[in-house]
Amino acid sequence: MGKIKIAVKTPRIDMTPMVDLFFLLLVFFILTATFRPEEAAPIKTPTSTSQTPIPDDHLGTILVSNKDKVFFNVDNGRDSTDHIRAKLLLAMGAEYKIKFTPKEIKKFEGLASFGLPITKVQAFLNAPDAKTREAMQEGIPIDSLNNQLAMWVRLARTYYSDVQFAIKGDGGANYPVVKKVIAVLQANNVNKFNLTTDLKSIELPTDFK
Amino acid sequence: MAEIVQEEGHKGKGKKKAKKHGTHIDMTPMVDLACLLLTFFMLTTAFNKPKVMAIILPEKPKENEKPPELDKSRALNILLVDHDKILWYNGLADPNKILPTLSQTDFTKEGVRKLLLQRNKELYGKISKLNKDVVEGKIKIPRDTLEARIKRMQKDDRFGPIVLIKAADSVKYRNLVDIMDEMVIANVARYTLVDINQVEKMMVKNYFRTAPSVTAH
């Protein structure tokens, strides 16, 4: 009697649809991903009921950490060939008599927020790694005698005419520092600016319609 | 076309057919990689962008200009003090007259929000009715027009409070954002940030001295 032999085969699964789906999702996530460069300090923003999303570009951000340090950040312009940050650093260098090398300027363009006196920026840009850089961020001077933040804001307004300003403060930052920052903005005729916040919902009092 | 020509050329001869067998590519490594990348991007994607709250402060009066007069009867002073407390009074504090009494409230919905909503009842009612009509489709206007209309309503407001926000130096930035947010929620048309003055500092001090039970924390 002939024995029927059942061939033992590993079942083949057609993976094509799965792979298709994977790639579709992958492409979606790659395209929607926005990479945020390292921030100078962790900042936990307070909450508000505002629903307006933060503008994508033309944004100058003044960050206030919970240790009351002030940082500044500005984007490179919608068209990165504008090299706004490079222009800004050069202008700032001219103002404080510091000459930056092309390499340093290039490095500066690639970084995000920074918070240190202009005299130390050179050493900051030549620092070997991110950790050293982070340790150097002592905050931008904002005293009335040496108000470098005001200079940054003024130059940003000069070289980046359609820049909008946003204050991104930590909820625990002390009010007097924020007051000084607002005063700097107002002194530069910036009366309209944004406060960066997280979203929360509106609740009305119980007996109110 | 090329195919037809080729066929004609080989006419009559036995065409040798190459045995076709579907080339099977082992897709497993590719799938592994795709899966890994997919997981990475999914986990790193932040969907909710941070929001912003627009602040428009009145322009600083020029040197030779007088600051605009304030309608005393509409003035509502909100003093932000330590430990998330709010003190408020109406009108102006004139050191040569009897000082207004302070009342205490807090950042909850039954606190300052209720106070502001009650004070700004008329404007708040008008704006929320308009918003409701638009949402329900009774009025069909584009978003820009709606915003412009709300702005005009706020500009024409004659009864709502003029809120002067005065924060003590000891408060946190969070309190400032919260109170600004309350203004937006209650649709207060006129509000501004002012420095706390000496008279008010004294009033706050006196308030906490005479009401020790409240200061206990």
Q: Which residue has the tokens 């978003």?
A: B143
Check B38 against A26: CB less than 8 A apart.
yes
Does the beta carbon of A170 lie under 8 angstroms from any beta carbon of chain B? yes
Check B51 against A174: CB less than 8 A apart.
no
The residue ranges of every structural domain in chain A are: 55-199
Give mean pLDDT, residues B172-178.
85
**Which of B23, B44, B51, B105 would best serve as a mutation to test chain A binding (most A beta carbons within 10 A)?**
B51
DSSP state of A41: S
Contacting residues of B for A196, CB less than 8 Å apart: 50-52
d(CA A70, CA A96): 19
Give mean pLDDT, residues A83-93.
79
Indicate the residue of A16, A176, A199 with minimum beta-carbon distance to B48.
A199
Does the beta carbon of A196 lie under 8 angstroms from any beta carbon of chain B? yes
pLDDT of residue A35: 66
Check A22 against B38: CB less than 8 A apart.
yes
- Dump pLDDT digits (tens) for B32-45: 888 888 888 888 77
Check A166 against B48: CB less than 8 A apart.
no
Mean pLDDT of chain A: 79
Indicate the residue of A34, A36, A194 with minimum beta-carbon distance to B52.
A194
Check B51 against A171: CB less than 8 A apart.
no
∠ CA A170-A163-A62 to the nearest 5 degrees? 20
Q: pLDDT band at A123, cuts 50/70/90?
A: confident
Check A46 against B60: CB less than 8 A apart.
no
Q: Does the model's pTM come out above 0.80?
A: no
Res. B75: pLDDT tops 50: yes
Does the beta carbon of A128 lie under 8 angstroms from any beta carbon of chain B? no
Query: Scanning every residue of chain B, which has its alpha carbon at the shortest distance from the alpha carbon of A191?
Result: B57
Contacting residues of B for A179, CB less than 8 Å apart: 167
Structural contact between residues A142 and A180, judged by C-beta atoms closer than 8 angstroms: yes
Indicate the residue of A22, A53, A168 with minimum beta-carbon distance to B31.
A22
- Dump pLDDT digits (tens) for B78-114: 888 888 888 888 877 777 777 777 778 887 777 878 8
Q: pLDDT band at B162, cuts 50/70/90?
A: confident
DSSP state of A44: -
Give mean pLDDT, residues A14-40.
80
Chain A closest CA to B101's CA: distance in Å?
25
User: What single string gives the DSSP state of each residue in chain B?
Assistant: -HHHHHHHHTTTSPPPPPPP-PPPP--HHHHHHHHHHHHHHHHH---SPPEEEEEEPPPPPPTTSPPPP--GGGEEEEEEETTTEEEEEES---TTSPPPPPEEEESSTTTHHHHHHHHTHHHHHHHHHHHHHHHHTSS---HHHHHHHHHHHHHH-SSS-EEEEEE-TTSBHHHHHHHHHHHHHTT-SEEEEEE--HHHHHHHHHHHHH-HHHH--
- Give me the domains of chain B, ranges plus CATH numbers: 75-120+160-215 (3.30.420)
Give mean pLDDT, residues B59-71.
69
**Which of B43, B84, B113, B173 would best serve as a mutation to test chain A binding (most A beta carbons within 10 A)?**
B173
Check A196 against B50: CB less than 8 A apart.
yes
Give mean pLDDT, residues A103-110.
78
Check B54 against A192: CB less than 8 A apart.
yes
ipTM of the shown complex:
0.72
Contacting residues of A for B31, CB less than 8 Å apart: 15, 18-19, 22
